[in-house]
Chains A and B, each alone.
Chain A
Amino acid sequence: MKQWQSYKKISQLRSFFWAVPAVVWQIVLLYIPLIFVLMRSFVHKGGAHLFDQFSFRYYMELLDATHAIILFRSFMLAAVTASVCLLIAYPIAYFLSFYVSRFKNILLFFLIIPFWTSLLVQLYAWFFILDKHGVLNVVLQKLGILSEPYHLLNTPFAVYLVSIYCYIPFMIMPIYSILEKFDIRLREASLDLGATRWETFMRVTVPLSLPGIKTGFYLVFIPAFGEFVIPMLLGGGKQLYVGSLITHYFLVSRSPELGAAFTWLSSIVLIISTIVMQWLFVRAITPRKIRHNL
């Protein structure tokens, strides 16, 4: 027993050793800068005072309807993108893992190709599709759905559409990797016990793929919340999102204190939403609490 414990300790030490570079990387390039940003958001310079002083004034400045709307807008973009991605990605992952055997690798390869292309190139490709005289308008007119060309570029619709497009692979991959390992006999057992295919899907397949859904949801929700390239290029910068506003404060209006404060404010919103999501997922996964009526 003792020997085992000491062995365990050594193996723990060993695994920690391998984690050191990653931890150092995180500390130096993420946590320390974040702390700088945090300090910056509280420190007020100048004015009549000689010294820097601690102050909440930047936060107070941000507590207004305009900023709340921007936070809400980003939250909506992230939530809708993640939800729609889930709805589209789940059937694809399901199909890939259960119904495709021969062309699986080729299809997965197609899924990964966009990652090899610069995001800017992908976005400019969308210009050709969404433009007033672009592919989509032409097709819709030919089909008689639109009577005259409709301006799709620089609209929230374009932002949502392209966000969903960009993030879908991040949703497919984790769900696929879970379904890939799925024990088919569990589905057979469910059918065998009298469940229809739909009931089996809802009661067995979906609950067991929740870890993948969860991972995918985070992988889409969190970056989509801070997204600024897509709103800028395809939304024409008409509507401000969290990412674009932070960029604006730091790079355009040269007010890094406000930028820092807003970064932290939006992080808090993001952290709270993540905690809520985590809670929802945990509730969905954990079996019913122990009852006491035996």
Chain B
Amino acid sequence: MRSIRLDNVTKSYDGDIVIENLSLTIPSGKFFALLGPSGSGKTSLLRLIAGFETADSGSIFLGNEDITHMPIHKRNINTVFQNYALFPHMDVFDNVAYGLTIRRIPKDIIEQKVIKILKAVHLEKQIYKSIHQLSGGQQQRVALARAIITEPDVLLLDEPLAALDLKLREKMLIELIELQDNLKTTFVYVTHDQFEALTVADYMAIMNHDGVIEQIGTPKEIYEFPTSSFVAQFVGSTNIFTGVIKSGAFEVQDLGLMQAAIPDKPWAVEGAQALMSVRPEKIEISKSKIEGFSNEFQAKVEAIVYHGRSTQYNVRLSNDMLLQVFEQNEEHFPHEVIDYDDMVYLYWQKENVVMLEK
């Protein structure tokens, strides 16, 4: 396990800049997720680290070693490919053993290691099956086993679960977390799925459409304290208000003053234009008056979407802005039924909003 450090890395394809002057440190021995929309250049970043592509400028370090121009096969970094890229002419055993066979490890040791690792990924019964006989989930495990058997310093996972169904994906996520915990290998997990990233990551980085990393932090930091409106909107859902900072509060046009915790940032001065993000689950919705909240607004229910564990209300404020509100479905028979076109009160605490620079 070693860390990865990218230093001012730039990469372009046919003059099209995908990554520009990117610097990033991926801590050693951690589960690191790189989250970004499709086409944000996160796969390019992964390919640069793996060595499939060479940076136009800048350097990449594995620990303290400069690997910018090191050939792929010499880097102790392995990849789990999106489509698995298993060798179709080999059975499970030979696929998993590939890295060891190449290193000319004695046959009996290879066999021990393969059996051990296949047991770890619950595939010991499939050891001599051909790749075509395996299900998607099993192929995924073979790809994983093949990549970790050589004990790489870093394991790169490129949207590894994209092809699996939801239930299996959730199961694999837990297994991945356990695997990383046992191996202590640095995992770099690339995905566009925020649920996956939030689930697996110790640390995560959010990349925007231009290949710029907007924020790095723990999943909780990213979700609760986004530092830009892109992060706030890309990770989870949120309601964004536009307004002006006014005497320690936030004024939204046609809506009035909102109580908000104004951060101690150089941009957050009196009269500055700003954005305010309120997560839908931070908002309380009720038809009756409740005391003790710093913010209270009236709205009309426009749509109700039942999600099972929660219900989503789309409500319209007096300034015509549409808000999303999530309510936990805590009871079979709620004491208050909210229906279409009902007038409701919305409440939230000022500590639960995030002020963002515009």
* Residue in A185, A207, A287 whose beta carbon sits within 8 Å of that of B85 in the complex: A185
Q: At the interface, yes or no: A208 with Cβ under 8 Å from chain B?
A: yes
Considering the complex, which residues of chain A in the window 177-193 have a beta carbon less than 8 Å from any beta carbon of chain B?
183, 185-186, 188-193
Query: Please, how many angstroms separate the alpha-carbon atoms of A290 and B133 in the complex?
Result: 15
Interface size class of A (residues with CB under 8 A): 20 to 34
Complex contact A291–B103 (CB within 8 A): no
Considering the complex, which residues of chain B in the window 148-189 have a beta carbon less than 8 Å from any beta carbon of chain A?
150
Encoded as 1 (CB less than 8 Å from any B CB) or 0, chain A from 254 to 294 comes to: 00000000000000000000000000000001011011011
* Residue in B50, B83, B98 whose beta carbon sits within 8 Å of that of A190 in the complex: B98
Of B88-96, B192-200, B235-243, the one contacting chain A is B88-96
| Residue of chain A at shortest CB distance from B108 | A293
Q: How many whole Å from B236's CB to the nearest CB in chain A?
A: 32
| Residue of chain A at shortest CB distance from B111 | A293
| Residue of chain B at shortest CB distance from A204 | B87
Considering the complex, which residues of chain B in the window 71-97 have a beta carbon less than 8 Å from any beta carbon of chain A?
71-73, 77-79, 81, 83, 85-91, 93-94
Query: Please, how many angstroms separate the alpha-carbon atoms of A192 and B88 in the complex?
Result: 17
* Residue in A196, A285, A293, A294 whose beta carbon sits within 8 Å of that of B89 in the complex: A285
User: Which B residues are CB-close (under 8 A) to A194?
Assistant: 73, 99, 102-103, 150
Q: How many whole Å from B315's CB to the nearest CB in chain A?
A: 48
Complex contact B94–A288 (CB within 8 A): yes
* Residue in A189, A191, A204, A291 whose beta carbon sits within 8 Å of that of B81 in the complex: A189
Complex contact A192–B50 (CB within 8 A): yes
- Give the secondary structure class of A's interface: helix
| Residue of chain A at shortest CB distance from B89 | A207
Q: At the interface, yes or no: B343 with Cβ under 8 Å from chain A?
A: no
Q: At the interface, yes or no: B269 with Cβ under 8 Å from chain A?
A: no
Complex contact A288–B78 (CB within 8 A): no
- Give the secondary structure class of B's interface: mixed
User: Which B residues are CB-close (under 8 A) to A195?
Assistant: 73, 98, 102
Of B21-29, B124-132, B225-233, the one contacting chain A is B124-132
Q: At the interface, yes or no: B304 with Cβ under 8 Å from chain A?
A: no
Complex contact B102–A294 (CB within 8 A): no
Query: Please, how many angstroms separate the alpha-carbon atoms of A217 and B93 in the complex?
Result: 30
| Residue of chain A at shortest CB distance from B156 | A192
User: Which A residues are CB-close (under 8 A) to B141?
Assistant: none
Encoded as 1 (CB less than 8 Å from any B CB) or 0, chain A from 191 to 207 comes to: 11111100100011001
* Residue in B77, B89, B103 whose beta carbon sits within 8 Å of that of A287 in the complex: B89
Considering the complex, which residues of chain B in the window 102-149 have a beta carbon less than 8 Å from any beta carbon of chain A?
102-103, 111, 115, 124, 127-128, 130, 146-147
Complex contact B127–A183 (CB within 8 A): no
Query: Please, how many angstroms separate the alpha-carbon atoms of A199 and B99 in the complex?
Result: 11
Q: How many whole Å from B43's CB to the nearest CB in chain A?
A: 12
Show the binding face of A for B, using Cβ within 8 Å: 183, 185-186, 188-196, 199, 203-204, 207-208, 285, 287-288, 290-291, 293-294
| Other A-B pairs beyond A188-B72, A208-B87, A288-B91, 15, CB < 8 Å | A183-B85, A185-B83, A188-B52, A188-B79, A189-B81, A191-B51, A191-B52, A192-B50, A192-B52, A193-B102, A194-B99, A287-B91, A287-B94, A288-B93, A291-B128
